[in-house]
Structure 1
Amino acid sequence: MKQGTRQFWKDFFALLMPFWRSKEKWPAIGLLVVIIACTLGAVFLSVQFSFWYNRFYQALQDYNQPAFWREIAIFSGLATVSVLRGVYAVYLGQWLRIRWRRWMTDHLLGEWLADRAYYRQQLTTGATDNPDQRISDDIQQFVDGTLTLSLSFLGNVVNLFSFAVILWGLAAPLTIPLFGGGGITIPHFMLWAAIVYAIVGTILTHLLGRPLIRLNFMQQKREADFRFGLVRFRENTEAIALYGGEASERQGLLRLFGGVMENFYQLMSRTKKLGFFTSAYGQASAVFPGILVAPQYFAKTIELGGVVQVIQAFGNVQDSLSWFVSAYSTLADYKATVDRLTGFRRSLEDAKAAARSGGIDMASDTRTNLAVETVQLALPDGQPLLEGHGLSVQPGDRLLLTGPSGAGKSTLFRALAGIWPFGKAKIRLPGNARVLFLPQRPYLPLGSLHTAVAYPAKPEEVPAETAAEALRAVDLSHLVPALEQEEYWARRLSPGEQQRLAIARAILTKPDWLFLDEATSALDEATEERMFALLRDRLPGTTWLTISHDPKVAAFHDRHWRIEKDGVAPARLVEAPEAAAA
């Protein structure tokens, strides 16, 4: 087995087996057993219908009216059972699918969110790999494809052996004459003809359809890239409108869609070639067994009912053997889905491995201060960014961090938050301390305004009146009537309103340590001073670490760290000798 094939099956079972070993396994196994029974029942009914067609057409040929009506009654019973089997096979299959999809979605979301892999993944892989599509679309396609293809394959295997037995008993031998007299006799010729016909079709289908795997993979990726471009446009409509960037955005979106079209044209061309062959193959299979059995019929060695049963049995054997031919497009799409999911999971593992192998040594202990013993931060490409050592922050300190743009201030905060894996550092954090980071651009989750104010806590954990009071404190009293209203608040609120809402979160959370990364940059001077005064009054025991370019903010801090940048050398983190005014 080739290395690539071995790796594919290893990755496939890594996706498949966790659900069947989980707490959900016994209900799922029960459903699967019933669904398999329905699948085998379909084969049993197909065999019964085969014999029924023999008897039915024989009754017509013999002008046997009582036998005709008896077969009609038998058909009614078989048809009723067939309908019930078909309906419950679909219903139970859907039930198993949604349970499996729910478990896989929860499991993959857990892997994505654990250890902040969703953030590190972007840093280590250079792209998000469209995680929204992996979690929403590909899980569904994987579950549907696994059940559909596996049950179809099982049904065809059982169907093959069932009708091969029938064809074995019905098919007469074929004698091929040789020069000089005599000949070669092939026993059970119809069965061997069906096998050879299917094998030739399978080989040709694989040769024609193999490129579909890569094309399906790329089509899903480019569709996701185009969709992400549209979502990004929607998220930034105001900025685009202010810039007047419609022409540039249109060009960029059409470029992304051009990638969709280019790959789709290749997909169309390859699908057309495969379609010509599979259609011709299917059409030929309708008359091929009739041509083979016709000499026996015209020689009157087989009756009409037997001819019909031979043709049906040949068709079933050939269809079962040609499963790969008929399912090739589905298999190509399914393999692309498995490749995307396994690639996504591998990128998560790489992100977590990079975090574990990094030199950022974070530890929490019984100490009450934050100590930066050594820090040597780097960019994802390994380029040194920031160095410093021997710095500490005591409880109750209000520390201001300043420095030139791009020197590593926000990256230092990310390292203190434990989400930056690049570089070497030894950082000691106070144990059991409540920590809150307020970035420059606050995150507003989907849902009500109450949900946005309470975040990261759940809205039910923050009483509505408490949330309303926090909004009033940050001069957002006009939003209180809409507290339980669900809107796209990230679009409705201005940047300044969003930053004040984040300050309200800090008031509600009452953290021991508060990190503010340009958290008031969108506010005017008077409002910014009110917000810092509010934090000072409402959170008297909270330790602050603030990044700001505004010199007036220094009035609310009593210590000052500065990042000094000199040419191409890494920036240096030092404590400024002067103390800010209290």
Structure 2
Amino acid sequence: MRRFLGAVLRLFGRAAFGPDRWKGFALYAIVLMLEFFGVWISVRMITWTKVFYDALEQFDVSAAIAQLWVFAGLVGLWAGTALFGQWFRDKLLLFWRERLTDAAVQSWLGKAAYWHLRPGLSPAAVDNPDQRVAEDCRNFIRLLLVVSVDVITNVVALGSYVTILWNLSDFALEFAIFGWDVSIPRYMVWLAFVYVAGSTLITHLLGKPLKGLVFRQERCEADFRHALVQIRDNATEIAQARGEEAERRHLDHRFSAIKDNWNRLIGREFILGLFVKPYYRSILRIPLFFALPAYFARAVTFGGLMQLASAFSSVATTLSWFIFNYRDLAEIAAVAQRLDDLFANAADPEPMPDVPRAIHQTHSADQGLQVRGLTLCTPEGRSLEPVPDIMIQPGDRIWLSGSSGAGKTTLLSALSGLWPYGTGSIERPSVEMIALPQTPRVFSESLAAAACYPGDPADIPETRLREVLTRVGLAHRLNGLGKSGGEAVEGLSVGERQRLAIARLLIHKPACVVLDEATSSLDLPAEQALMTLLRRELPEATILCVAHRPPDALAPYRTWAIGPQEQSERKTA
């Protein structure tokens, strides 16, 4: 319970505090005031019950008709209050959800947590972060509003209802047991609390396993959805490999996890429902049965009996909030734990245990790049071949060669400051560095956004974009420059994506460029043409090129061989 409350308070702080926090609290205050007004209407309905049923008992037609008008007015007020309350609650949900989502996105992207917390790189890898940011933020705020508003409202309402019930229960329940005379004054008040307390205990015992099952169900649903997204993103590769059956097996496996946990979840909900459903249906009738002894003892009139039953029902229903909302409480506990874990892990990504993390990273004074005594390790703790020392001056062109698996990509991650595992020292420039991978990121917002990534396309004139795309061999794609959405980049081959990535370098003109097999899908003449263009447009840029063949178009260049030298030479040959 302490962990759950701590997580809820931390998440609430992220959503509710900060700039413009007054707006959220103002909306929350309006929601509460409307809820309190609803409580007042409920109290008036309890009073109305006695007057109306007394009129029926006395066959007073005019009084009964008058009370029907009162009833209509109260129902109208209740409906209006409920509608406006829901409207303000929805506005508040969006406001706080936006703030919590912004905090989650910032936490996930900040400190490159999305990179460090991948499976295999950290023992605290975060599964399905997309679900946690997109759905858990929404569900947490929704459930938080439901729970918090209901709790505060019910506390206020309970005081009003108990006061009414206390005043109405000015009689005692008298009976004999084993020769003893027993008298319980105001028994209806005590009975309400005992009745609900016992029912709450039973509900908790039956529903306790729900939290874990809900938590696992959310994970299984997200895993299945992620598998479907992967099919969409890799449609060409799957179709060319005729991988439909393999994908189907993978999806079936994911859905089997959903089905297995779902069966356990609905089984537990069924067990809980064996008690909760009858309780829910009887909570409005049981009070009448409890009040019958007072009626038969002529302690109350028929209208008083109905009023007493209504007051008891209001108290019992308010006290039963925990029972009626147990499923929501289990869900908010699971959602809060998932979100809180995301923030905690992203704030300080946990490294793999017992793996050296002694790479000393500094910025060089002369904007060069120097590597000394560097040995990289895998996350499992296996040491790679020592990296040869090197001093790279601004404007140098370096061919980073080595066999597959020698650790070239890992080295690039270390040079960028991402890779933590290993020993040695790296002095790197503080200038802008852009790295192009073998399969570059294509931002599906628009072709212009893909070309300007990671910059804002609004900052680049369209004439400049057209000129650059034409120079890298993408003139045939210019018709899609003004389009938005996935349609703009649909059908881009890997080679076209690599041309698009080279266009980014021409647009941003960084001082340091890292090419990680960035032209591997192009034929040799196309590769040489783009490298020549790059050398001409960025004559003073430092270029570090990873390739399986010498980048002759970048000449003059130096070679930085990684891994066993003889393996590297055989690969080059």
2:437 paired residue number: 439
Does the CA contact (< 8 Å) of 2:385 and 2:564 recur in 1?
no
Name the aligned partner's letter for residue 27 of structure 2: L
Tell me the SS of whatever aligns to 2:384: strand
Deviation per residue, 1:118-156 (Å, 9 max, x gap): 111112147441111001100000000001011111222
Quote the offset at 1:540 in angstroms.
1.3
**Change over 3 Å in CA distance of 1:159–1:62 after alignment to 2:** same
- Following TM superposition, where does structure 1 have runs of at least 4 consecutive aligned residues deviating by more than 6 angstroms? 352-355
1:293 paired residue number: 291
Name the aligned partner's letter for residue 29 of structure 1: F
1:175 paired residue number: 174
Name the aligned partner's letter for residue 81 of structure 2: R
Distance in 1, Cα, partners of 2:440 & 2:377: 25
Tell me the SS of whatever aligns to 1:564: coil
Q: How does 1:351-366 map to 2 (within 5 A)?
A: 351=349, 358-366=357-365
1:36 paired residue number: 32
Deviation per residue, 1:304-360 (Å, 9 max, x gap): 1111111111111111111111111111111111111112222213417789x9433
Tell me the SS of whatever aligns to 2:386: strand
Does the CA contact (< 8 Å) of 2:213 and 2:265 recur in 1?
yes
Does the CA contact (< 8 Å) of 2:173 and 2:294 recur in 1?
no
1:112 paired residue number: 108
**Change over 3 Å in CA distance of 1:199–1:88 after alignment to 2:** same
Tell me the SS of whatever aligns to 2:68: helix
Task: Decide which moves more: 97-106 or 152-161.
Answer: 152-161
Quote the offset at 1:189 in angstroms.
0.9
1:136 paired residue number: 134
1:318 paired residue number: 316
Distance in 1, Cα, partners of 2:375 & 2:553: 26
Task: Decide which moves more: 76-85 or 311-320.
Answer: 76-85
1:551 correspondence with 2:550: yes
Distance in 2, Cα, partners of 1:369 & 1:300: 98
1:277 paired residue number: 275
1:203 paired residue number: 201
Q: How does 1:153-192 map to 2 (within 5 A)?
A: 153-171=151-169, 172-180=171-179, 182-192=180-190
Distance in 2, Cα, partners of 1:287 & 1:505: 72
Quote the offset at 1:193 in angstroms.
1.4
Q: If the length of structure 1 is used for normalisation, what is the TM-score?
A: 0.92
Quote the offset at 1:439 in angstroms.
0.8
Task: Decide which moves more: 418-427 or 60-69.
Answer: 60-69
Distance in 1, Cα, partners of 2:273 & 2:69: 40
Distance in 2, Cα, partners of 1:44 & 1:8: 33
Distance in 2, Cα, partners of 1:73 & 1:230: 57
Q: How does 1:336-375 map to 2 (within 5 A)?
A: 336-351=334-349, 358-375=357-374
Q: How does 1:95-106 map to 2 (within 5 A)?
A: 95-106=91-102
Does the CA contact (< 8 Å) of 1:175 and 1:183 recur in 2?
yes
Name the aligned partner's letter for residue 322 of structure 1: S
1:309 paired residue number: 307
Does the CA contact (< 8 Å) of 1:129 and 1:344 recur in 2?
no
Does the CA contact (< 8 Å) of 2:161 and 2:315 recur in 1?
yes
Distance in 2, Cα, partners of 1:254 & 1:449: 35
Distance in 2, Cα, partners of 1:153 & 1:9: 14
Tell me the SS of whatever aligns to 1:361: strand
Task: Decide which moves more: 381-390 or 12-21.
Answer: 381-390
Does the CA contact (< 8 Å) of 2:402 and 2:563 recur in 1?
yes
2:68 paired residue number: 72
2:229 paired residue number: 231
Q: How many percent identity over aligned positions?
A: 35
Decide which of 457, 470, 473 is 1:459's aligned counterpart: 457
Quote the offset at 1:551 in angstroms.
3.4
Decide which of 3, 8, 20 is 1:12's aligned counterpart: 8
Q: If the length of structure 2 is used for normalisation, what is the TM-score?
A: 0.94
Quote the offset at 1:425 in angstroms.
3.4
Does the CA contact (< 8 Å) of 2:513 and 2:542 recur in 1?
yes
Does the CA contact (< 8 Å) of 1:375 and 1:386 recur in 2?
no
Tell me the SS of whatever aligns to 1:319: helix
Decide which of 331, 334, 348 is 1:333's aligned counterpart: 331
Tell me the SS of whatever aligns to 1:428: strand
Instruction: Provide the alpha-carbon RMSD of the alignment.
Output: 2.2
Tell me the SS of whatever aligns to 2:423: strand
Name the aligned partner's letter for residue 560 of structure 2: W
Tell me the SS of whatever aligns to 1:508: helix
Decide which of 476, 479, 487 is 1:478's aligned counterpart: 476
Does the CA contact (< 8 Å) of 2:363 and 2:429 recur in 1?
yes
**Change over 3 Å in CA distance of 1:552–1:416 after alignment to 2:** closer
2:191 paired residue number: 193
2:21 paired residue number: 25
**Change over 3 Å in CA distance of 1:371–1:552 after alignment to 2:** closer
Distance in 2, Cα, partners of 1:559 & 1:179: 104
Tell me the SS of whatever aligns to 2:374: strand
Distance in 1, Cα, partners of 2:536 & 2:299: 104
Distance in 2, Cα, partners of 1:367 & 1:290: 87
Does the CA contact (< 8 Å) of 1:115 and 1:352 recur in 2?
no
2:210 paired residue number: 212
Distance in 2, Cα, partners of 1:76 & 1:329: 34
Tell me the SS of whatever aligns to 1:420: coil
Task: Decide which moves more: 242-251 or 283-292.
Answer: 283-292
Distance in 1, Cα, partners of 2:249 & 2:14: 44
Distance in 1, Cα, partners of 2:17 & 2:280: 41
Does the CA contact (< 8 Å) of 2:124 and 2:345 recur in 1?
no
Tell me the SS of whatever aligns to 1:392: strand
Distance in 2, Cα, partners of 1:101 & 1:517: 39
Specify every segment of 5 or more residues in structure 1 that has no aligned partner in the other structure, as ranges.
none
Decide which of 81, 85, 89 is 1:85's aligned counterpart: 81
Quote the offset at 1:365 in angstroms.
4.2
1:402 correspondence with 2:398: no
Quote the offset at 1:82 in angstroms.
1.9
Deviation per residue, 1:153-207 (Å, 9 max, x gap): 1222222221111111222311120333x50111111111111110111011101
Distance in 2, Cα, partners of 1:442 & 1:372: 26
1:254 paired residue number: 252
Decide which of 52, 58, 64 is 1:62's aligned counterpart: 58
How many residues were matched structurally? 564
Name the aligned partner's letter for residue 66 of structure 2: R
Name the aligned partner's letter for residue 16 of structure 1: F
1:378 paired residue number: 377
